[in-house]
Amino acid sequence: MLFTALLLANITAIHIGIASTDEPTLSVDPPSIIDPTLTPGKFFSINVTIANVTDLYGFEFKLHYNTTILNGVGVVIPFPDHSSKLSINDTEGIVSVSVTFQPPAEPLTTTDPVTLARIFFLVTALGRTDLDLYDTTLVNSEAEVIPHLVEDGYFSNLPLPPVALFTYSPLLPHVDETVTFNASTSYDPDGTITRYEWDFGDGANATGVVVNHIYTVPGDYTVNLTVTDDDSLISTTQKTVTVIKHPVAFFTYSPAAPLINEMVTFDASPSTPDGGHIVNYTWNFDDGSSVITEIDPITNHTFIAPGIYDVTLTVTDSEGLTNSTTKSITIVKASSSISISASPTTIKVGEDTTISGSITPARVGVTVTISYRLSGEATWNTTTVTTNSTGGYSYTWLSSVAGDYEFKASWPGDTNTLGDESSTITVTVEAAATPPYALYIVAVIAIIVLTATAIYYLKKKR
């Protein structure tokens, strides 16, 4: 009668992988035996358990195993009052169990797993095998089939591969910086690691637990670590190492010799990011003005006082790296010129001449010093005049002594402009006026006539 029920039960057995249900579940416990120490000649056992069952009064199952690895050596049913049919077929690898409780046994009701059978194996070789429960049947005290789930088991005594793990430092290395790779966190669960091999992703390789490497080009590198254990099993892991490089700040400016209040153009476009791109340019003009940050590499600035300014450019790239460069810029005063002329340039003693000129660019109301001297004298006489509304000046000089006179003009400059001194011009002063030439001629003629007349009369007397 029980056997008849078994055939029907197969339909209701569902194999699942993970126990996460309140349904009756027939399981191999432990579900997985992975133990390289279970070498040939050793014994181990598994339990077949039932959980979440009510009113269990009989069960039947078969368990299949790989006979090249295991031999079934025994089955124990841990219930005192039952009848059973137990068999082990070591040719096909089948353990068959059929149990029916007998009075005075009570039906089994349990939530927690309860062992229905313990099965012993002898290990005969290295390998792996499923411990496959099938043809399972559960019946209650009324000989009714109890629907249930089934969970298979697994056995392996194969050597375990190692586990490859590594760290590296620094996490964001720069070009030409030493990067230390450390594989000491790698391990072998059933032995030891005998070899560490590194592929740095840039064509370079190394061996060893801890190795150093230097990248010379920025970029992303896939670093592979391969570890080998004492069973010659290998395992590989990889990480991407990003190598960065600081940008290089560089700028030009024009004009080369800027003047006060002259717009100076700064151009940072020759800066190079060396990986990524430059996201902004920060300028410190060293003149007390605000530090500015711009996206455009070109900016203009005007210095309002003469001096030497250490202009600093800082570039920031898309990797968050910065670099700075400084150039000393000399801001000079604008030059000026002062002209001079005399009108007239030749006068006689007692006459005057007008000394005039102008400052370029025009400077209004500034003091011009006019210096003059008789040629050959060591010292200059000076006088000052003030420029008019167009930057011109004028000075009237009255002569008193004949001779050649040198004149020059100068101004000292102002806050934004350098002063200048003119060239030297010459004014000729002649002696005072002489008697008229005609009168002189008449006098000479008269003398000649008188002389001639006198000679005539003297000769006539003889």
Q: Which is nearer to Ca ion, 58 or 162 (CB)?
A: 162
Nearest distance in Å: CB 161, Ca ion: 6
Neighbours of 94 (CB within 10 A): 18
Computed on alpha carbons and rounded to an integer, the radius of gyration of the chain in Å comes to: 59
Q: Which stretch binds Ca ion (CB under 5 A): 48-56, 92-100, 221-229, 241-249?
A: 221-229
Cis bond before residue 255 (omega within 30° of 0): yes
Q: Which is nearer to Ca ion, 77 or 233 (CB)?
A: 233
Work out whether strand 263-267 and strand 298-302 pair parallel, antiparallel, or are unpaired: antiparallel
Phi and psi at 52, nearest 5°, equal: 60, 40
Size of the site for Ca ion (CB under 5 A): 7
* 368 binds Ca ion, rule: CB under 5 A: no
Q: Which is nearer to Ca ion, 140 or 226 (CB)?
A: 226
Nearest distance in Å: CB 117, Ca ion: 33
Q: Which stretch binds Ca ion (CB under 5 A): 10-18, 190-198, 216-224, 403-411?
A: 190-198
* 191 binds Ca ion, rule: CB under 5 A: yes
Q: Which residues contact 439 (CB under 8 A, 6 or more apart)?
A: none
* Residue 5 near residue 129, CB atoms below 8 Å: no
Q: Which is nearer to Ca ion, 16 or 34 (CB)?
A: 34
* 193 binds Ca ion, rule: CB under 5 A: no
Site string for Ca ion, 223-262 (x = CB under 5 A): ------x-x-------------------------------
Where does 387-435 show beta strands of DSSP type E? 392-398, 403-413, 418-421, 425-430
Site string for Ca ion, 33-72 (x = CB under 5 A): ----------------------------------------
* Residue 226 near residue 236, CB atoms below 8 Å: yes
Q: What is the DSSP letter of 189?
A: T
Nearest distance in Å: CB 129, Ca ion: 20
* 186 binds Ca ion, rule: CB under 5 A: no
Nearest distance in Å: CB 123, Ca ion: 18
Q: Which is nearer to Ca ion, 16 or 233 (CB)?
A: 233
CA-based nearest residue to 344, from 418, 458, 427: 427
User: 295 is written with which tokens?
Assistant: 């996206």
CA-based nearest residue to 387, from 416, 414, 426, 349: 414
CA distance 231 to 225: 18
* 319 binds Ca ion, rule: CB under 5 A: no
Q: Which is nearer to Ca ion, 229 or 317 (CB)?
A: 229
* 190 binds Ca ion, rule: CB under 5 A: yes
Nearest distance in Å: CB 224, Ca ion: 20
CA distance 109 to 266: 89
Nearest distance in Å: CB 168, Ca ion: 25
CA-based nearest residue to 316, from 300, 294, 286, 284: 294
Nearest distance in Å: CB 66, Ca ion: 22
Q: Write b or e for each residue in 372-398: b if 16 or more Cβ atoms lie within 10 A of its Cβ, otherwise e.
A: bbeeeeeeeeeeebebeeebbbebebe
* 188 binds Ca ion, rule: CB under 5 A: yes
CA distance 232 to 188: 11
Nearest distance in Å: CB 33, Ca ion: 17
Nearest distance in Å: CB 162, Ca ion: 6
Residues 124-183 that bind Ca ion (CB under 5 A): 159-160
Q: Which is nearer to Ca ion, 105 or 163 (CB)?
A: 163
> Residue numbers of the site for Ca ion (CB under 5 A)?
159-160, 188, 190-191, 229, 231
